[in-house]
């Protein structure tokens, strides 16, 4: 079902996504027995908490004209409900944790790409393009850091 959302609501959904993902990783960490898996999940939880704060600052610095822009998007895209489809897996392997984090990041990146493609205003496209670039950069950093944890 398509619906219209303002950009500020889309950003709010993204902040909520990071918050829910932070809690999800935290819950998974509590269920794990393997120290490396637990450490990796704790890292991803902290990483998501940081992204949630950065998103708030990004929104506060955005021009009102961009935040008030309208988007037509699918319910799942706006609410980032792909997260809801992720399984809560006890006793995960390190590789499963990394794949889970990669799927979560891909969900958010796909959402931003669709928003960029759907908008005709150059300043709005640029705003979400920068946000997408930031998310991609953070994903690369998180994957590098997770590999260092694996190599401990």
In tens, the pLDDT along 4-29 reads: 788 888 888 889 889 988 998 998 89
List, for the chain, all residue ranges whose pLDDT scores fall below the cut of 70: 1-2, 73-89, 119
pTM equals 0.85
- Is 149 within 8 Å of 36 (Cβ atoms)? yes
pLDDT of 75 reads: 46
Query: CA 47, 16, 84, 125: dihedral to nearest 10 degrees?
Result: -90
Spell out the CATH class of 2-150: mainly alpha
In three-state secondary structure terms, 71 is strand
Burial (CB count <10 Å: 0-12, 13-18, 19+), residue 42: middle
């Amino acid at each position: 079902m398509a619906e219209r959302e303002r950009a500020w609501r889309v950003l709010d959904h993204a902040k909520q996504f990071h918050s829910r993902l932070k809690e999800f990783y935290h819950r998974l960490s509590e269920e794990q027995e393997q120290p490396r898996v637990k450490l990796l999940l704790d890292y991803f939880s902290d990483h998501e908490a940081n992204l949630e704060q950065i998103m708030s600052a990004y929104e506060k610095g955005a021009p009102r004209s961009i935040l008030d822009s309208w988007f037509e998007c699918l319910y799942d895209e706006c609410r980032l409900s792909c997260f809801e489809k992720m399984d809560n897996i006890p006793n995960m392997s390190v590789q499963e944790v990394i794949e889970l984090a990669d799927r979560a990041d891909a969900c958010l990146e796909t959402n931003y790409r669709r928003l960029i493609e759907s908008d005709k205003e150059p300043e709005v496209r640029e705003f979400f393009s920068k946000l997408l670039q930031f998310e991609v950069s953070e994903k690369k950093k998180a994957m590098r850091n997770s590999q260092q944890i694996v190599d401990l």
